[in-house]
């Protein structure tokens, strides 16, 4: 009875059944967590949280600017400032031209 299978090799945490009982979390690098959870639900919950924080830390996506707190489309782990704060003004970043057009549309001058 496997309801959902995490896809391997995609930076995902997964929950594995331990022989003898319990469940452990395997991280995206393939390392197994040392903690054994008695219930699959618990392990899934922890894996989910780990996944969220990993996604937030390492992947592109919406992120809050460390400077002004405004949400913006981050291009990755090193990108924690919105364009305005990074550049000191609202110039478009070539990397991000396809993202984040929901706020602050600007015409190139």
What contacts 95, CB < 8 A, 6 or more positions away? 75
Closest CA to 58 of 76, 80, 79, 81: 76
Question: Residue 33 or residue 100: which is nearer to Zn ion going by CB?
Answer: 100
Site membership for Zn ion, residue 67 (CB under 5 A): yes
Residue 103 CB, shortest distance to Zn ion, in Å, is 12
Which residues in the 78-107 window bind Zn ion by CB under 5 A?
82, 85
* Pick from 75, 7, 108: nearest CA to 83: 75
What is the total count of residues that contact Zn ion (CB under 5 A)?
Answer: 5
User: Residues interacting with Zn ion, by CB under 5 A?
Assistant: 65, 67-68, 82, 85
């Amino acid at each position: 009875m496997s309801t959902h299978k995490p896809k391997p090799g995609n930076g995902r945490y997964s929950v594995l059944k331990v022989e003898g009982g319990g469940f452990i979390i395997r991280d995206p690098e393939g390392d197994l967590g040392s903690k054994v959870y008695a219930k699959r639900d618990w392990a899934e919950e922890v894996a989910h949280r780990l996944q969220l924080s990993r996604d937030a830390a390492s992947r592109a996506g919406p992120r809050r600017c460390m400077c002004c707190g405004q949400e913006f489309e981050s291009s990755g782990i090193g990108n924690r400032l919105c364009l305005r704060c990074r550049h000191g003004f609202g110039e478009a970043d070539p990397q991000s031209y396809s993202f984040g057009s929901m706020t602050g549309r600007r015409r190139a001058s």
